[in-house]
Amino acid sequence: MMRMLRAGLVLAMIATPALAKEAVISSKPIVIAHRGASGERPEHTLAAYSLAIEQGADFIEPDLVMTKDGQLVARHENDITGTTDVVSRKEFADRKRTKTIDGISHTGWFTEDFTLAELKTLRAKERLPLLRRGNAKFDGQFEVPTLREIIALAKAATANTGRTIGIYPETKHPSYFASIGLPMEALLVAELKAAGWDRADAPVFIQSFEVNSLKALKQLTQVPLIQLMAADGGPADRAQPSYKAMATPEGLKAIATYASGVGPQKDMVVAGDGTVLPLVTDAHAAGLKVHPWTFRAENYFLPSGLRKGINPAGHGDMAAEIARFLAAGVDGLFTDYPYLGVQARDRHSR
């Protein structure tokens, strides 16, 4: 499977001029494939990103972490205990560590203790096997992809489909990585520059939960930046006291000095009962786009009124949930099921 993906990618890049002009992204709300089509393939794999593109996603989203030798790779966390087969790999048994990351203790295996070559010997696993048994059937088939491979995939797909396929990378735990001598921002910008993506209209958004990472990026690139926000807690770099304070009209105005938009947890935009909260209106007043996260089809993740049946892994009415947010005026959305997001978006646009 991996050989087929690589072969297709290489052929696509050879068949199309390297400097082919990218198409213009639609003015409709964008659909961001959250870690790829992660509802149907193990997240952060080329297979998940490729399927997301086939399903019509406008952007594919890699969470970025660092390797020991300073390479950017896509994993949900730098702790790869539950997303790769590292636990079963006896040659890496001595790499198990206990670390404090963003104030929380973790025991497992971490990307920063592996070179890229070593990581490439591992294979991806489904992170939520109890909810996504179909995904678990693909365990052991796919590598951990690099940012460079993901960019190449997006560019090849853009050339082949005539649609612009953008990337939406997140700097994951950037202050932690900086503290161990692996700063992320300059490397990320260098990779984007090498791809020709260092302009305000590039098909890229860079996101982070941390404020200072985005402020550093603001000094390095013209690419649009997105401040992520959760319903609880605050940035790990302690640049602001809480996300709730950042979501006020005053907080949003401050964000607008360094970012182009916000990526709020969806409950900050529309409550589970369908009540529209003021965040979209306030963010738009500050000149910010709003891209909430994350829309998932499983009952486990849906508001009670949109679930179907009692099986947590069963699928409810995610389309109805997305419709609430589109009606509230969001500018895009993160989803594990891009085809459902595209269908809901297009119905709303019509």
Length of the chain: 350
Residue 146 tokens, joined: 């690099």
Q: State how beta strands 170-171 and 30-34 pair.
A: unpaired
Dihedral (Cα; 70, 47, 195, 62), 10-degree rounding: -60
Residues 6+ away with beta carbon under 8 Å from 126: 42, 43, 132, 135, 136, 138, 139
Q: How far apart are CA 264 and CA 244, in angstroms?
A: 10
Distance CA 101, CA 176 (A): 7
Name which of 222, 283, 219, 224 is nearest 254 in CA terms. Answer: 283
Question: By the 8 A CB rule, do 34 and 127 touch?
Answer: no
Q: Is there a catalytic annotation at residue 34?
A: yes
Residue 154: how many CB atoms within 10 A of its CB? 24
Q: How far apart are CA 62 and CA 146, in angstroms?
A: 9
Helix H or strand E encompassing 279: helix 279-285
**Exposed, middle or buried by CB within 10 Å (0-12, 13-18, 19+), for 2?**
middle
Catalytic residue, chosen from 44, 76, 173, 291, is 76
What's CA 314's distance to the chain center, in Å? 24
**Selected catalytic residue, list 34, 44, 173, 291:** 34
Secondary element (H or E) of residue 110:
none
Provide the token pair at 244.
Answer: 């709730």
Cβ partners under 8 Å of residue 75, min gap 6: 44, 63, 65, 83, 84, 111, 144, 172
Identify whether 44 is a catalytic site residue.
no
Catalytic center residues? 34, 76
